[in-house]
Structure 1
């Protein structure tokens, strides 16, 4: 039996024993590689990566060769045994055949500088670096991302986008979160530089969906956290449009938590990233207008609504799809639903704010009803009905206002934002028309749809 085989068997035994009750090795080769890199301390950067080092450990344990002078001290540190005991059978001449001997020689020669070595030595050193180059090339293509991974993730995100207005937020959140964790695992694992960018983009899309779903479920802290995560991953990937989608979510979340300053900052951040011919450029300006309205800044609000209208008029005839969603419909909704909310928040009856809100809210409802069922958004339509109800209440039509509120609360997708706006309608009706039976009926319906806290 050769010295390499004897030493290899000893090293393998030290790694594997004591085995557990199922006969499994005490430590895997990958774990052993991590321990050796840890033992190397500041010199760990000079060692191969964990996977490559684990492959070398496999070769040593198989008896293909013997660890050289770089790795023997590491084995001694990890095992607590002296080198002389671990590598007793290794003859001096075997050092020439050790797996890191040539590498050490190359390092020593290169440290001295090419001018300081004889030509024949330099030739051997340079020829030896070809093996290093091949290893670097292999590592550059090393990846745990399977060939069909991106196609699968694309199908998943497309389905999430399609199911957003159809499935319950809780079920969809659980599925989306599961895939987000899987993408995080892939990001932590080996992948190419190109794959890293793609993984960051998919992570950002999934986090953006989680932000909206957490918002729908009534957790603004989680919603904003996911939106920020989406923006950061999109920004790292250099994906301006996706950054803008993330800020759109941030703006809405901030509006519904009564933080108009934060909503305005998010909208401005998105405007700076959104392509100017994309419907998002319209939507984000309308978001900024809503924020200005909440702040009581009439002139800035109306300027931003005017700017949104100008950008909307310059959009191309065919809007891009967001997976399966026509983004042109989102821009059209922003030009009707967002101004309705803005004029309600400005709230000056003498300037005709509530009449304008009524016109815009009715237009938002009409636009939603004109869409095919697959493209309609029940929650957005419900919010438009609430806005219409608030405008009608201010205009002296409490029965019609309460009817709009009841239809909103009967939405098949009664999310937190709908309940929040319905609360605004309930308070407006109670303040202006508390004696009207329809108002009391709406109040009871609103009270019964509040989630248990």
Structure 2
């Protein structure tokens, strides 16, 4: 067996590429690459393929990682099935996706993305195996969901190219499997991506396409309607914003509370509180305040930010924004600092925190310099 780390180090040196630069191009965490290069962690098959493509190599390190015990167990079960894929393997993949989607609200995006990559790679291997038509469709479906979650994480990390590639893969798999809900989520997720980039008109268009594609009463329909409201709010369309808020509240009341409300792709009526707080805050409506405070009260039983879901950080930003509107600037600074220092503001939401900083600086408050300093601590995450 060749020394993977040694071969890659030599290629990087010859091509004048730094380890940090390689990590950025490959969309892997530099600390993870460093562990692999030093032999402390075995490379995954997906990483080997990515490195080969980046550096023009043809490394053939054994694909099975000593850390992938879970995958080894699945492979053993798969081999004893009548099919090369098997119902047990598919069920485990589907349960694993649900676990990853439920971990999303609190998980570190980089950590969760590594898990999504590993399981997506396994799905890719199984697509070449013998299977029934029903098994093939289930495999395409779970692959589509994994690609969609991966795209969402790339958006959170402001990795635009990778996000678009995964969204396209998710849409293609969903089309092949004829799963309209995944297709609708792809449009909804892309709407959020362009909204965070400031293209509110395009976000409005994509949210409407998502609604048209979504099955009636589905979570995708509700979330796409929410994105429409957010886009209208950013555009200052008050009547349309209130209309979208009303539809979201009516839809969410009709679906009831799901068995796994923390699941990112199962709409929980409690999420409408967060959605309403953000949408009204963007519209400049002071009615956002009680919604934001209710989110914080429900989801933040303590001041320990380690246990916060990301919605608590967003609610603090919403609260700060509406407090600025009311000229309650001292309180706004406190809420903004709580959000930023929580470590729960992902790169795709840094612009929201910056809005508060800029508003406070415009009023030349003494606290402005402290708030700016706290915000600057977020910037390395964007590199």
Give the alignment's TM-score, normalised by structure 2.
Answer: 0.70
Is the radius of gyration larger for structure 1 or structure 2?
Answer: 1
Name the residue aligned to 2:352: 421
Q: Is the 8 A contact 2:148 2:166 kept in 1?
A: yes
Look up the SS of the partner of 1:199 in the other structure: helix
1:239 matched to 2:179? The reply is yes
Name the residue aligned to 1:83: none
1:76-117 per-position Cα deviation (integer Å, ceiling 9, x unaligned): xxxxxxxxxxxxxxxxxxxxxxxxxxxxxxxxxxxxxxxxxx
Counterpart among 229, 233, 258 of residue 319 in structure 1: 258
1:440 matched to 2:378? The reply is no
The alpha carbon displacement at 1:322 in A equals: 7.0
Q: After alignment, is 316-325 or 230-239 more displaced?
A: 316-325
Q: Is the 8 A contact 1:383 1:408 kept in 2?
A: yes
1:231-266 per-position Cα deviation (integer Å, ceiling 9, x unaligned): 332232122333333333222212111122232222
The alpha carbon displacement at 1:146 in A equals: 4.0
The alpha carbon displacement at 1:285 in A equals: 1.2
Looking at structure 1, the residues matched to 135 and 222 of structure 2 have their Cα atoms a distance apart, in angstroms, of 32
Give the alignment's TM-score, normalised by structure 1.
Answer: 0.60
Q: Is the 8 A contact 2:314 2:345 kept in 1?
A: no
For residues 43-442 of structure 1, what are the structure 2 equivalents within 5 Å? 144-313=84-253, 315-319=254-258, 321=260, 327-329=266-268, 331-333=269-271, 335-347=272-284, 353=285, 355-369=286-300, 378-431=309-362, 433-434=363-364, 436-442=365-371
Looking at structure 2, the residues matched to 332 and 165 of structure 1 have their Cα atoms a distance apart, in angstroms, of 14
Gaps of 5+ in 1: 1-140, 348-352
Look up the SS of the partner of 2:127 in the other structure: helix
1:451 matched to 2:380? The reply is yes
RMSD across aligned positions (CA): 2.8
> Structure 1 residues 168, 148: closer, same or farther in 2, change over 3 A?
same
1:166-212 per-position Cα deviation (integer Å, ceiling 9, x unaligned): 43211221221122122122223433211111111011111111012
> Structure 1 residues 142, 190: closer, same or farther in 2, change over 3 A?
farther
Look up the SS of the partner of 2:258 in the other structure: coil
> Structure 1 residues 324, 146: closer, same or farther in 2, change over 3 A?
same
Looking at structure 1, the residues matched to 257 and 108 of structure 2 have their Cα atoms a distance apart, in angstroms, of 31
Looking at structure 2, the residues matched to 304 and 235 of structure 1 have their Cα atoms a distance apart, in angstroms, of 28
Looking at structure 2, the residues matched to 323 and 340 of structure 1 have their Cα atoms a distance apart, in angstroms, of 19
> Structure 1 residues 361, 208: closer, same or farther in 2, change over 3 A?
same
Q: Is the 8 A contact 1:379 1:411 kept in 2?
A: no
Looking at structure 2, the residues matched to 324 and 303 of structure 1 have their Cα atoms a distance apart, in angstroms, of 26
Look up the SS of the partner of 1:396 in the other structure: coil
The alpha carbon displacement at 1:292 in A equals: 1.5
Q: Is the 8 A contact 1:289 1:342 kept in 2?
A: yes
Look up the SS of the partner of 2:287 in the other structure: helix
Looking at structure 2, the residues matched to 264 and 378 of structure 1 have their Cα atoms a distance apart, in angstroms, of 27
Looking at structure 2, the residues matched to 148 and 337 of structure 1 have their Cα atoms a distance apart, in angstroms, of 37
The alpha carbon displacement at 1:281 in A equals: 3.0
Name the residue aligned to 1:52: none
Looking at structure 1, the residues matched to 156 and 186 of structure 2 have their Cα atoms a distance apart, in angstroms, of 15
Q: Is the 8 A contact 1:169 1:216 kept in 2?
A: yes
Gaps of 5+ in 2: 1-80
The alpha carbon displacement at 1:344 in A equals: 3.5
The alpha carbon displacement at 1:445 in A equals: 0.6
The alpha carbon displacement at 1:400 in A equals: 0.6
1:370-425 per-position Cα deviation (integer Å, ceiling 9, x unaligned): 79x9xx86222111111110111121111110100111012243311342211111
Looking at structure 1, the residues matched to 108 and 249 of structure 2 have their Cα atoms a distance apart, in angstroms, of 34
